[in-house]
Amino acid sequence: MEDTKKRLGRGLSALLGDVPAEGHAAPAADRDPRRLPIDALRPNPANPRRSFHDEPLDELTQSIRERGIMQPLLVRRVEDHFEIIAGERRWRAAQRAGLHEVPVLVRDVSSGEALELAIIENVQRTDLNAIEEAMGYQRLIEEFEHKQDALAKLIGKSRSHVANTLRLLNLPPSIRASVADGSLSAGHARALIGTKNPDAIAEEVIRNGLSVRATEALVSRLNRSEEEQAAKAAKKAKSATVDDANTRALVRRLSSRLGLDVNLAHNTDESGVLTIRYSSLDQLEQVCRMLGEE
């Protein structure tokens, strides 16, 4: 692990061969691109990228037909073939474009280093959806023991970006799927984190085509409504009347002693209201005399 971190500490661009790494000059044959037959390459089965949508792949295919492959693929030798570390989309598009060979940079790295490089290379790309990006960060943290601060520096992102992207993994699978297929943006999804019914809100957002700001406002209104309802429920629970045998017996005793209708609303918080009904001034005077009033 320490050796892996030291090598990755040189920077992805150095390992890709874009710039020489200070104190780690690679042999010329290893630093310069070479061409390999397309059928000599195999995709990495552990590649963190799972989505290869047709439309962007078609665009890349057309670009390769017109201008060729601008950036070599990064590969490593595995038994009788070469495994792709970075550049599977270019390899797929090259096949669509009818190319027989592709430029590659061959690197002598372990399977662990190859996986880590593949994840880092993927999360740095703008076409990766936010869920794939979050899963890449999670793997780098869990499998390679990267801390968020160090990870942010390694991939050239802010720590807050890494933290906010990782929070998307707390959403239900249905919401993550909507982000992955483009129905919801990462901004929409972040607004739904912590809500009680994110699926229902997401449906409304998609149905009405709400912007991120409108979604945040909707969530804010719903949260206020929930808080108000909770406060009302707490108040109602606090002032709920007690209707048990002891309370009913007390009402009967008071009514019998006064000779009047008595109602007692006794609450769970020990407060309450005692109501004595009279139908004439004589009955009122009787109550007053019993209370010591002249």
- Residue labelled with tokens 């892996």: 4
Helical axes 245-258 vs 281-290, angle rounded to 10°? 110
- Residue labelled with tokens 């061969």: 17
121 is catalytic: no
Taking every pair of Cα atoms in the chain, the longest distance, rounded to a whole number of angstroms, is 117
Burial of 167 (0-12, 13-18, 19+ CB in 10 A): middle
Q: Strands, E, within 97-159: which ranges?
A: 101-106
Structure tokens at 266: 């006794």
Quote the CA–CA distance of 31 and 14 in Å, as a whole number.
10
193 and 168 Cβ atoms separated by less than 8 Å:
yes
Structure tokens at 97: 């474009």
41: alpha, beta or left? (left if phi > 0; alpha if psi -120 to 50): beta
Query: Which is the catalytic residue, given 22, 55, 59, 88?
Result: 88
Quote the CA–CA distance of 53 and 59 in Å, as a whole number.
10
Q: How many CA atoms within 13 Å lie on the side-chain side of 15?
A: 24
Structure tokens at 2: 């320490």
Structure tokens at 66: 């017109």
Give the residue numbers marked as catalytic. 88
